[in-house]
Homo-oligomer: A and B are copies of this chain.
Amino acid sequence: MRCIGPHPINVLMNIEQQFADLHDLWSPRVIGRVNDQYVKIAKLKGEFTWHKHDDEDEMFLVVKGRLRIQFEDGDVELGSGDFHIVPKGVRHNPVADEECWIMLIETVTTKHTGDVVSPLTRTIEQQLGQ
């Protein structure tokens, strides 16, 4: 495995292998950093929590399963290979009726549950595996 660059997490990685090592639901794992953005993966099942990120967009790419992102003006339904970028400041709530695997792109400052704290909230240290 080749490890280069300023970010020690940036080795050559395989998405499927990363998911195989991730067992907890709603617990994003940072798997890379590109500029000021973290690349994360997460496994979801059930309902998350309504929240927003005042200053950061958030990209959701569904790798496996289906994800519904609830917005105040309607839902977006994503299947495998679909992606959607939630703009900053927009309240949303991810819901997965069955287990769903996603890749996320988020600014490094993004808080997991944004403007709220819930029992599901994970710190960035937890997401970095520290």
Chain A residues packing against B (C-beta within 8 Å): 2, 4-7, 10-16, 32-37, 39, 56-59, 61, 71, 74, 76, 78-79, 81-88, 90, 105-107
User: Which of A34, A36, A78, A87 has the most CB atoms of chain B within a 10 A radius of its CB?
Assistant: A34
Whether A83 contacts B13 in the complex (CB less than 8 A), given A5-B57, A74-B2, comes out as yes
- Copies of this protein in the assembly total 2
B36 & A87 in contact (Cβ 8 Å cutoff)? no
Closest CB in chain B relative to A13 CB, distance in Å: 6
Complex Cα spacing A104 to B33, Å: 13
In the complex, the answer to whether B59 meets A90 with C-beta atoms within 8 Å is no
Contacting pair A39 B59 (CB below 8 A): yes
Q: How far is the CA of A41 from the CA of B106 in the complex (A)?
A: 19
A87 / chain B contacts, CB cutoff of 8 Å: 4-7, 10
Between-chain CB contacts (< 8 Å), 9 pairs: A5-B90, A7-B85, A14-B81, A14-B82, A32-B85, A35-B36, A35-B57, A35-B88, A39-B59
Which of A6, A12, A58, A76 has the most chain B CB atoms closer than 10 A to its own CB? Answer: A12
